[in-house]
Amino acid sequence: MRDKIEKWFKNFQERLTADLETCDGKATFKADQWERPGGGGGEARVIQNGAVFEKGGVNFSAVEGELPEAAAKALHLPDPHFFATGVSVVMHPENPHVPITHMNVRYFEAGNGEAWFGGGIDLTPIYVNKEQVTFFHQALKTTCDRFQPTYYPEFKKWADDYFYIPHRAETRGVGGIFFDRLTATPEISLEERFAFVQAVADTFAPTYTAIANQNRNLPYTEQEKAWQLTRRGRYVEFNLVNDRGTKFGLETNGRTESILMSLPPLASWEYNLIPAEGSAEAAALACFQKGIDWVNQ
């Protein structure tokens, strides 16, 4: 299936960048092709200074070779040879009322024949519009329910646990779904897993751009922009300290520019910042916790 999966992911990058350019209406993605010294390569596509997106990226990669010993051990693989392909997306909007978002779909094939999919979608609003968060989670649940009734509750909890910043005791945003190491089982074939991953990927653009288009023209204050930079700081903390994908990419000699594309152009850290009681910032912070049932709000 390797060639089929790689070709689909590359085509998905093409379609997704077109959808996001249409949403932005001003800027376009610039493509940057690269090769990995150990084998394979990819294409980074970055958009900057647009009408909606201050910075964003849609990266495709298909790499192969040998994993460093530490990386192979972390994945519990006796054979260090591997092939991996996928698409990773992070969008940082200009307007603080448009949420940051992240999406990733990926396929990994080990030298011993093991193969699996991973990925997910999550949302990081600066100010929380609960109706929009419910819309976002319902879209993910609808996609998951097409395949397995257990997928959404399982993968929603996985996202809550994964996108958590322990040193802040808060989640990065309002979650979404996250899954990893989805292998073939006696009940579910690898082809069925791939169909699910394709459906997740295709849920992203219409769901996220609907929210972006609702909020893109909302007015905002300097205080709201400052809070956006603070929340971007949390995003940076998670990606550099906790994110396994960032660590894996750097440990396997991945392309640094592509890996760190996920970071915003500007972020800030104000010492001991505590939002005022009753403020919109405090209300948002209260939503950055595990276990909130967004579908049944």
Structure tokens at 288: 């950055």
Residue 73 has pLDDT above 80, yes or no: no
Classify residue 283 as left (phi > 0), alpha (psi -120 to 50) or beta: alpha
pLDDT of residue 291: 97
Residue 79 has pLDDT above 90, yes or no: no
64-73, 75-84, 282-291: range with highest mean pLDDT: 282-291
Residue 1, CA atoms < 13 Å, CB-side half-sphere: 21
**Which is the catalytic residue, given 92, 97, 102, 137?**
102
Q: Mean pLDDT over all residues of the chain?
A: 94
Give per-residue pLDDT as tens, 138-175: 999 999 999 999 999 999 999 999 999 999 999 999 99
Mean pLDDT value of segment 256-264: 88
pLDDT of residue 143: 98
Structure tokens at 286: 């209260």
In which band, very low, low, confident or very high, does the pLDDT at 99 lie, cut at 50, 70 and 90? very high
5 and 115 in contact (C-beta within 8 Å)? no
102 a catalytic residue: yes
Of 159-163, 192-196, 245-249, 284-288, the one with minimum mean pLDDT is 245-249
pLDDT of residue 38: 81
Neighbours of 233 (CB within 10 A): 17
In which band, very low, low, confident or very high, does the pLDDT at 183 lie, cut at 50, 70 and 90? very high
Determine the Cα–Cα distance for residues 210 and 234; give it in Å rounded to an integer: 25
In which band, very low, low, confident or very high, does the pLDDT at 66 lie, cut at 50, 70 and 90? confident
171 and 160 in contact (C-beta within 8 Å)? yes
pLDDT of residue 50: 98
Of 69-73, 119-123, 149-153, 215-219, the one with minimum mean pLDDT is 69-73
Residue 67 has pLDDT above 80, yes or no: no
152 CB contacts (<8 Å, ≥6 apart)? 140, 141, 144, 145, 177
Q: Is 224 helix (H, G, I), strand (E, B) or coil?
A: helix
* pTM, rounded to two decimals: 0.94
Mean pLDDT value of segment 191-213: 98
Structure tokens at 42: 């990819």
Q: How far is CA 166 from the centre of its chain?
A: 19
192 and 112 in contact (C-beta within 8 Å)? no
Beta-ladder partners of 117 = 107, 182
Domains and CATH numbers, the chain: 2-286 (3.40.1500.10)
